[in-house]
Amino acid sequence: MVTTFAELFEQLKGKGRTRVIVAGGEDPDALEAVEQSYKLGFGEAVLIGNRQKIDQALAAYPDRSFVKDILEADSEEEKARVAVETVKQGGVLLKGTTKTSILMKAALNKEWGLRTGAIMTSVAAFEDERDGNKKLVLMSDGGVVVAPDLNTLVAVINNCVEVAHKLGNPMPKVAILCAVEAVNPEMPETINAAILAKMNERGQIKGCIVDGPLALDNAVSKYAAEKKGLRSPVAGDADILIVPNIAAGNILGKSIEYYAHRTLAVVIVGAGAPMMVPSRSDRAETKLNSIALTILCSMPQ
């Protein structure tokens, strides 16, 4: 089972380089991340954008062997369209300078986009090294689904579980996060959590162990779970954290990054090809992690 990003990089070595199609290839952090993926042996760049601006950005790289191709596109809409059409021929998609709204509109285009009929969700990963027990923890959805209903939460879980399986975890422990660990009719998310746990118990959600509602402390801390008297295979040892809405996921993700100083990887799954739509503030290291995770997700099980 992959427990760190370094292990993920090692696992991808020797499996050939995957094309990383960059929508807006003038982005310096995206270029740095793809160059690193090339040096590590698993990525190569297809840059889409204004050729002159891309050449200017590449001036910082004496060795341009990491760039497989450059495709000319001037407008934001054209960059997004070319990127979507190119990734259909193989590879993964990374947002560079192209605006998120424009790239997602292209990806969701009913005629030539990346729709599959499945629900697209964002899955984040980060390294948990507490208590000397290294592992990659997944969290969803802090980037795509705004306010999931029960059926959408099932899709969020299934997408996350699929990523966990790709990372070599055959039976991930899924915590449905809420503010409390008891069902409270005044907190609808706790009712959804209890229903999801029961659905898993009855085989309606497969390939994982689901429990909830669980507060964050007793989902990830055995000490907290024991102090609160929780007996659950998930409590204190969650591999996947499912948040009730995008606000909670966004806040949790940024707290992990800025307070805990953990770098993330983020992939959008459920589309015809895995995608990365990083924040403008994301550093090259986060984009490199995301490239590696997204390439892994693009590979057959």
- The sheet carrying 240-242 orders its strands as 67-72, 43-49, 18-23, 92-95, 275-276, 264-269, 121-128, 135-140, 240-242, 173-177, 209-214
pLDDT in tens, 150-167: 999 999 999 999 999 999
Tell me the mean pLDDT in the region 24-51: 96
**CATH architecture for the domain at 121-258:** 3-Layer(aba) Sandwich (3.40)
Q: What pLDDT does residue 282 have?
A: 83
Tell me the mean pLDDT in the region 259-282: 91
pLDDT in tens, 92-125: 999 999 999 999 999 999 999 998 989 999 999 9
Tell me the mean pLDDT in the region 38-64: 96
The CATH number assigned to the domain with range 5-116+272-298 reads 3.40.50.10950
Residue 279 confidence (pLDDT) above 90: no
Domain ranges of the chain: 5-116+272-298, 121-258
Q: What pLDDT does residue 265 have?
A: 97
3-class SS of residue 74: coil
Tell me the mean pLDDT in the region 259-286: 91
Least confident span in 113-117, 134-138, 294-298: 113-117
Residue 130 confidence (pLDDT) above 90: no
Q: What counts of helices (H) and strands (E) characterise the chain?
A: 11, 11
Cα–Cα distance for residue pair 59/107, rounded to 1 Å: 30
Instruction: Record the pTM.
Output: 0.95
